[in-house]
Structure 1
């Protein structure tokens, strides 16, 4: 997915009609995510957020002690939109739905992907916002109900999200060097690579330029879930994946 960073624009942080409503934590986090979506994480500040909400930035500190706490809140705000049905009798089907939902959130909020991937992993589990841990807990419930041991359930979660983190980072990163060029080799800047050292990579220019996130996700899930079922799945859990 190619993306272009937006630059400053006049009137960008003009207050919206939320200034007439009570200041709540969900409203603050939603506005913060809007700024991140539009500009980037580095452009988020208490001053800009206060301007966006039509409030004195000092009022925001009652809901987030500093920018780090605000970013934790945004991470939690996004993760709370990740739906996991722990009562689904088909664990593979449910994990496939979770994976699609996670990709949907990442594509909808590409500038927030570093928060979803690296920020969570850099914080000890017990210190992470509860909302970021609920998908993990619900997936563990889903898998233990499918007769996996608790240890195997955790291994499956780690395998799934390790794959998802890598997938979304690949999909949302900027890959185009010169979009005005007419060939994929030149658009990706692969002409800079010595042909004698990187013949296969240069030869994949068209496939690299036409990355299909949906297709690649499904192919990866086919391999991952089949392998997990074969190596860890109890006999009662080895059912055909209906997708």
Structure 2
């Protein structure tokens, strides 16, 4: 396994794991307990949005994950009034740990008010998409080589700057793992050779509730747990 890029919200690595294992890990992310808003009581809504629209938008705001006991509920309150001028209601106005504070919820005009109480609990993405921790995807790794015929071609570095660079008057491969387009698109460029390999590029992107690295670790734990249950049933 080779780490290609890593930060709090995204990890990309190259690996020779089988496609079946890669897919099993992807699906196992749906087994991670994630905190999300389950119920909303609207006490006042002067905005242009209907109550159900407002509830839907608030319900999909990602919250920072917490370890809770089964059945535990976290209550959050939002009370905003536009005094004197139009005001944008943001996720940070929820009295709770939101993943991204500046997610817009609704605009309210002068003297309008929004007051709600939201209740959050932990659940799994197998129940609802709001409990999804992020996006896991994978694709085959293609090795890219630049021959003499393509060395003077600057066009590819402009079209695909994440893959190619043009330095010292020559076209060079910067990050061949970043090539996520159909290889047929490069056939018109003579001198560029793309060779499919058995390795895959695995990408994990977090919605913000937990770090991307934790999504991978928790997916492995969830997969192992399910495999243990299968083995137990087979004995």
* TM-score, scaled relative to structure 1: 0.20
The structure whose Rg is larger is 2
Q: Which has the higher helix share?
A: 1
**Higher relative contact order (CA closer than 8 Å, sequence separation 6+):** 2
